[in-house]
Amino acid sequence: MAGDMTAPAAVAPALFLGAGPRPGEQLRAHALAVADAVTAASGRGRPYSGADPAALAAAIAAIDPCPEDGIEFEDVLAGLAGTVLAHGVDVADPCCAAHLHCPTLLPAAAAELAIGATNQSLDSFDQAPAATLVEDHLVRWLAATLGLPDGSGVLTSGGTASNLLGLLIAREQACARVAGHGLGAGLPARHRRWRIVTSRGAHDSVRRAAAVLGLGTDAVVAVATDRAGRLDVAALDGALAALDAAGDEPIAIVATAGTTDLGAIDPLAPIAERARACGAWLHVDAAVGSAFALSPRLAPRLAGLERADSITADLHKLWFMPIGASALLVRDVAVLDAVHHHSDYLNRADDQADGVLNLVGRSLDTSRRFDALKILVGLRSTGRRRMAAMVEGLVDLTAAAGRAVQEHDELELLAPPSTVTVVFRWRPAAGSPLPAAAVDAVNVAAQRALLRSGRAIVGRTRLDGRIALKLTLVNPLADEAGVQRLLELVAGAARDARAHAETAR
Ligand X SMILES: Cc1ncc(COP(=O)(O)O)c(C=O)c1O
Q: What residue ranges bind ligand X (CB under 6 A)?
A: 100, 158-160, 163, 203, 205, 256, 258-260, 285, 287-288, 314, 326
Contact (CB, 8 A) for 410 and 429: yes
Contact at 8 Å (CB) between 483 and 80?
A: no
CB of 247 to ligand X, least distance (A): 30
Q: In what order do the strands lie in the sheet with 310-314?
A: 152-156, 326-330, 310-314, 281-285, 249-256, 194-199, 220-223
| Distance separating alpha carbons of residues 46 and 453, to the nearest angstrom | 9
Identity of the residue, 288 or 397, whose beta carbon is nearer to ligand X in the bound complex: 288
Q: Which is nearer to ligand X, 100 or 221 (CB)?
A: 100
Cβ atoms within 10 Å, residue 387: 20
> With respect to ligand X, which residue has the nearer C-beta, 94 or 158?
158
Shortest Å, Cβ 263 to ligand X: 9
C-alpha pair distances (Å), 110 with each of 107, 234, 375, 485: 5, 48, 11, 32
The angle that helices 480-504 and 436-453 make with each other, rounded to 10 degrees, is: 120
Pick 138 or 206: Cβ nearer ligand X: 206
Q: How far is the CB of 290 from ligand X (least distance, A)?
A: 10
Query: Closest distance between ligand X and the C-beta of residue 88, in Å?
Result: 18
Query: Please, what is the minimum distance in Å from the beta carbon of residue 326 to ligand X?
Result: 6
> Which residue spans within 286-416 are E strands per DSSP?
310-314, 326-330, 411-413
Q: Among residues 264 and 411, whose Cβ is nearest to ligand X?
A: 264
174 vs 209 by CB, closer to ligand X: 209
Residue 303 CB, nearest approach to ligand X (Å): 18
Q: Which residue is nearest to ligand X (CB)?
A: 159
Taking the complex as a whole, how short is the minimal distance between the CB of residue 245 and ligand X, in angstroms?
A: 30
Distance CA 319, CA 315 (A): 5
E strands, 85-188, in order: 96-97, 152-156
Provide the minimum distance between the beta carbon of 186 and ligand X in the complex, in angstroms, as a whole number: 27
* Amino acid letter, 297: R
How far, CA to CA in Å, does 391 sit from each of 11, 287, 322, 386? 48, 14, 16, 9
What contacts 121, CB < 8 A, 6 or more positions away? Answer: 127, 128, 367, 368, 369, 370
Q: How far is the CB of 425 from ligand X (least distance, A)?
A: 21
The nearest distance, CB 264 to ligand X, in angstroms, is: 10
Min CB(224)–ligand X separation in Å: 18
Nearer CB in complex with ligand X: 41/170: 170
Strands 326-330 and 281-285: unpaired
d(CA 360, CA 457): 39
- Using the minimum distance from each CB to ligand X, give the nearer residue, 121 or 163: 163
Q: What angle do CA 165, 171, 176 make, to 5 degrees?
A: 125
CA distance 94 to 45: 9
**Closest CB 485 distance from ligand X, rounded Å:** 25
Which parts of 301-426 are beta strand (E)?
310-314, 326-330, 411-413, 421-426
Cβ proximity to ligand X: between 151 and 159 the closer is 159
Query: Measuring CA to CA, which residue among 323, 424, 467, 494 is closest to residue 97?
Result: 424
C-beta of 202 vs 413, nearer to ligand X: 202
- The nearer residue to ligand X, 404 or 414, going by C-beta atoms, is 414
Buried b (16+ CB within 10 A) or exposed e, 10-23: eeeeeeeeeeeeee
Which one, 132 or 256, has the nearer CB to ligand X? 256
Report the residue number, 319 or 424, with the smaller CB distance to ligand X. 319
SS (H, E, C) 285-310: ECCCHHHHHHCCCCHHHHCCHHHCCE
- Cβ 101 to ligand X, closest distance in Å? 9
Burial 260-278 (b: 16+ CB within 10 A, else e): bbbbbbbbbebbbebbeeb
| Cis-peptide, bond into residue 43, ω within 30° of zero | no
Residue of 297, 263, 285, 327 lying closest to 388 (CA atoms): 297
